[in-house]
Structure 1
Amino acid sequence: MIPDERQHIAELAADFRGRLDRANKALLPVQFRYFPVGACEPTSILLARFLADHGHPGFRVISAPYITNDQPELWYSHVWVGRDDLLVDITADQFNMGFPPVIVERHSDWHAKHETVEVSVEGFAPEQRAELRRVYELLCSTP
């Protein structure tokens, strides 16, 4: 990946994060009401599409479905996007662990230490996919 491409991806990720920050949450589905908290999966799905629509296809939606931080009874999950050796995460700051609002990195110790699986919207119900399309259109119309 050339440096300019990584920079462009970082700019797009920051733009998309800003759109979510500025969006009228009352118009969004409940999982976005407290963005970024609890919104990593739908956000990552939409971010992958946004990157593809702006010239950067091929980002996979990656889920770490069982994160414990050494406390098995207090597990949670997290989702971000990745392509080749680059990860992009615009919701990690929900964990209050010092993450910035936008992460675009070749490596993150925190992300790398978790077992991951790929998420596909193909497994979503038609109404869930339709809702994601509606949210995407709304966010793309947000200045």
Structure 2
Amino acid sequence: MPVSDHMRIEQLEQIASKFRRAIEMVPESSRPVSFEYFPNGSCGDSSLLLGAHFVDLEIAGFEYISGERGCQSEGTWTSHAWLERNGCVIDITADQFSDAPSPVIVADPSPWHYQFERNGAKPSDFRMWNGMGVDFLKPMYSAIKEILEEQSGGMSS
């Protein structure tokens, strides 16, 4: 399903929200450890799974962004991850933070994300990453895709 690079925010929000709901529908017993307290502590893996979904939908240009805020010595330090393309932020786990404006953020720009000091951009598709943790995302992604296909009558979107 080719999608224009200039996809509207509303369309991106619909895709991101459906993806978030699909994650929530995966049985807890089938989720990787990083999703045990979803959305808490799941931002990185959730972003990488959504990034793979975007690649499959031919939605190009999104990168995986990680950042941090607060101070470790004061006990206020936290890290976070989301997808971003030219200032357009997609964050499907924002509600792990009490000060987030909504559970899912799709915004261009997203002022809430300015508070995070960025650690740089990386590929948004987990299938382009290496390491032990990546293998645990494959069955999770398959389960999410299956749910999305069931919801759309055989065509995931």
Same-fold status (TM-score > 0.5): yes
Q: How do 1:55-134 and structure 2 match up within 5 A?
A: 55-64=58-67, 66-68=68-70, 72-116=74-118, 117-120=120-123, 121=126, 124-125=130-131, 127-134=132-139
**C-alpha contact 1:44 1:81 (8 A) present in aligned 2:** yes
Match of 1:51 in 2: 54
Structure 1 unaligned spans of 5+? none
Give the deviation of 1:51 after TM superposition. Answer: 1.6
Moved more, 133-142 or 92-101: 92-101
Aligned residue pairs: how many? 140
Q: Within 1, Cα distance between the matches of 2:15 and 2:129? A: 27
Give CA-to-partner distance per residue, 1:69-121, whole Å, 9 cap, x none: 79743211000000112000010101122431211101222201322122455
Please report the RMSD computed on the Cα atoms of aligned residues, expressed in angstroms.
Answer: 2.2
Q: Deviating runs (4+, > 6 A) in structure 1?
A: none
Structure 2: which amino acid aligns with 1:140? K
Match of 2:30 in 1: 27
Give the deviation of 1:62 after TM superposition. Answer: 0.3
Q: Within 2, Cα distance between the matches of 1:103 and 1:52? A: 19
**C-alpha contact 1:9 1:51 (8 A) present in aligned 2:** no
* Identical-pair percentage: 29
Moved more, 85-94 or 68-77: 68-77
Structure 2 length-normalised TM: 0.79
Q: Within 2, Cα distance between the matches of 1:84 and 1:19? A: 26
